[in-house]
């Protein structure tokens, strides 16, 4: 496979190297706000059939790149393919989000879990990565991803989406060593899963920790941070003579960004509840930062979107190490034209922040 990359702004920025402008990609950039995504999903039948079909997963990965001047592609898949591979039986009911046929709710159920053979159970993901790399042909880098063990664990234990996480919180209180064991199993599986994505061609990886900050800081460190640390320690960090940067995104991390920066990751995602200027102080410029415009801004006028881009760039300030993104995924109700306004504004306004 060719390793030439026409646009390596993202990879250079994640390593805090100087660049002429700020790179931009968007969490959930392939998704329901795009009519062409909805058409391809209908062609596949449903969301999981789309994930399991490498040609169609490649097609939806490419769709946002045809519309917008984005600096990266992100693999089309889901964080819940990992517990599915562990035998929990993932399914989606329309309008209800993800569910598991066999949630893991007792100590015995946790002890019965095994690290799956990722090549066998998740080969369709690695095939999608290879297909997307061929199709990208060096245009922009491809980001692979997985969920954090705690975030994935919330779905495994609660059996689906949750607001308050009663079952996993009870486990943390009453049998913390059982939850430690669950975190280790998911971390071990995730190391194999992400390393196989990297072997297949992923050029950077992101760990989505959507729910870690629902824990009290000490529990966050014990369950979410420690298990992400195990992943960072186990990942392939260089391939074909180029670094493979690791991005950790704990939504709502706030001052815990300081702990996250000490894991040895290359970059941290930041949501809109922390100013990038403050985030930069928390991490003492040890890592690159990615974010953090409120996704709700995309519902506003073009002028308001441009002003949001301008203030996000100004908050990070001058110098390398900022990847523009939203503070969380783009939502299905957004007008696709508005994302174009955002991307164009980053191209236009960001060179002033680089020498
Ligand atoms: O960013 C991308 O374009 C890549 C694809 C991607 C998806 N899910 C596709 C998807 C990524 C990176 C994810 C991550 C993910 N999945 C997270 C972490 C990030 C976050 O948003 O907090 C979580 C918690 C999940 C679990 C999940 N998957 C939920 C809760 C749902 C249903 C609710 C929702 O947001 O729609 C999904 C389904 C899902 N994953 C969809 C997509 C495009 C929508 C399914 C559909 O098309 O019907």
Residue 329 placed within a domain: yes
Residue 2 placed within a domain: no
Give yes or no for residue 94 having a pLDDT over 90: no
Report how far residue 192's alpha carbon sits from residue 315's, in angstroms, rounded to the nearest whole number.
37
- Tokens matching residue 311: 């203030």
Would you say the CB of residue 102 lies under 6 angstroms from ligand 1? Answer: no
What's phi and psi for 318, nearest 5 deg?
-80, 155
Q: Compute the average pLDDT of residues 175-183.
A: 97
3-state secondary structure (DSSP) of residue 350: helix
Residue 103 placed within a domain: yes
Beta-carbon contacts of 195 under 8 Å, excluding residues fewer than 6 positions away, are: 234, 235, 236
Give yes or no for residue 1 having a pLDDT over 60: no
What domain range includes position 192? 9-353
Using an 8 Å Cβ cutoff, are 297 and 346 in contact? no
What is 126-183 written as a DSSP string?
HHHHHHHHHHHTTSS-EEEEEE-HHHHHHHHHHSB--SS-HHHHHHHHH-HHHHHHHH
Would you say the CB of residue 97 lies under 6 angstroms from ligand 1? Answer: yes
Tens of pLDDT, residues 233-276: 999 999 999 999 999 999 999 999 999 999 999 999 999 999 99
Give yes or no for residue 223 having a pLDDT over 80: yes
Give yes or no for residue 347 having a pLDDT over 70: yes
Tens of pLDDT, residues 33-43: 999 999 999 99
For residue 96, the model assigns a pLDDT of: 83
Total tally of structural domains belonging to the chain? 1
Output the 3-class SS for 238-272.
EECCEECCEEEEECCCHHHHHHHHCCCCCEEECCC
| Mutate which of 79, 83, 211 for ligand 1 pocket (most atoms within 8 A of beta carbon) | 79
Give yes or no for residue 3 having a pLDDT over 70: no
CA 79 – ligand 1 centroid, Å: 7
DSSP class of residue 138 equals: T
Closest by CA position to 292, among listed 318, 247, 322, 263: 322
Residue 45 placed within a domain: yes
Tens of pLDDT, residues 294-345: 999 999 999 999 999 999 999 999 999 999 999 999 999 999 999 999 999 9
- Tokens matching residue 326: 């939203």
The pTM for the full model equals 0.97
Residue 107 placed within a domain: yes
Give yes or no for residue 2 having a pLDDT over 60: no
In the chain, % of residues over pLDDT 90: 97
Tens of pLDDT, residues 105-146: 999 999 999 999 999 999 999 999 999 999 999 999 999 999
Q: Hey, whose CA ends up nearest to atom 32 of ligand 1?
A: 97
Would you say the CB of residue 325 lies under 6 angstroms from ligand 1? Answer: no
CA 352 – ligand 1 centroid, Å: 34
CA 76 – ligand 1 centroid, Å: 9
3-state secondary structure (DSSP) of residue 51: helix
Give the CB-side neighbour count of residue 168, counting CA atoms within 13 A. Answer: 32
Catalytic residues: 28, 32, 41, 78, 155
DSSP class of residue 79 equals: T
Report how far residue 138's alpha carbon sits from residue 113's, in angstroms, rounded to the nearest whole number.
39
Would you say the CB of residue 239 lies under 6 angstroms from ligand 1? Answer: no
CA 31 – ligand 1 centroid, Å: 8
Bridge partners, 74 (sequence order): 143
Using an 8 Å Cβ cutoff, are 300 and 337 in contact? no
Residue 3 placed within a domain: no
Domain at 248, CATH number: 3.20.20.210
**End-to-end Cα distance, the chain:** 33
CA 78 – ligand 1 centroid, Å: 6
Residue 283 placed within a domain: yes
Would you say the CB of residue 326 lies under 6 angstroms from ligand 1? Answer: no
Q: Hey, whose CA ends up nearest to atom 2 of ligand 1?
A: 28
Q: Compute the average pLDDT of residues 46-57.
A: 97
Report the atom number in ligand 1 closest to the C-alpha of 46: 48
Residue 4 placed within a domain: no
Q: Hey, whose CA ends up nearest to atom 28 of ligand 1?
A: 78
């Amino acid at each position: 496979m060719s390793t030439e990359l026409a646009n390596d702004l993202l990879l250079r920025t994640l390593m805090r190297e100087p660049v002429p402008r700020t790179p931009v990609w968007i969490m959930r950039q392939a998704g329901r706000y795009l009519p062409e995504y909805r058409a391809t999903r209908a062609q596949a039948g449903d969301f999981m059939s789309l994930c399991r079909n490498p040609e169609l997963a490649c097609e939806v990965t490419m769709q946002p790149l045809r519309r917008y001047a984005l600096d990266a592609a992100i693999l089309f898949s889901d964080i819940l393919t990992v517990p599915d591979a562990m035998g929990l039986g993932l399914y989606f009911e329309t309008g209800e989000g993800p569910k598991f046929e066999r949630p893991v709710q007792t100590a015995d159920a946790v002890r019965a879990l095994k690290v799956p053979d990722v090549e066998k159970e998740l080969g369709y993901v690695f095939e999608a990565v290879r297909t997307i790399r061929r199709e990208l042909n060096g245009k922009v880098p491809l980001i692979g991803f997985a969920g954090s063990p705690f975030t994935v664990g919330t779905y495994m234990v609660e059996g689906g989406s949750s607001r308050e996480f009663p079952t996993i919180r009870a486990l943390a209180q009453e049998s913390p060593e059982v939850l430690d064991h669950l975190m280790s199993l998911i971390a071990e599986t995730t190391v194999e899963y992400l390393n196989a994505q990297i072997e297949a061609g992923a050029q950077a990886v992101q760990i989505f920790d959507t729910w870690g900050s629902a824990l009290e800081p000490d529990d966050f460190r014990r369950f979410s941070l420690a298990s992400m640390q195990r992943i960072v320690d186990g990942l392939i960090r260089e391939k074909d003579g180029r670094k493979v940067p690791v991005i950790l995104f704990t939504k709502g991390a706030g001052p815990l960004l300081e702990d996250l920066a000490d894991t040895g990751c290359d970059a941290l995602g930041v949501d809109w509840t922390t100013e990038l200027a403050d985030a930069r102080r928390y991490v003492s410029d040890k890592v690159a930062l990615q974010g953090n415009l409120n996704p709700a801004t995309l519902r506003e006028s073009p002028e308001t979107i441009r002003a949001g881009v301008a203030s996000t760039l100004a908050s990070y300030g001058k110098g390398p190490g900022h990847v523009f993104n939203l503070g969380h995924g783009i939502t299905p109700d957004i007008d696709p034209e508005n994302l174009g306004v955002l991307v164009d504004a980053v191209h236009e306004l960001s060179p002033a922040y680089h020498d």
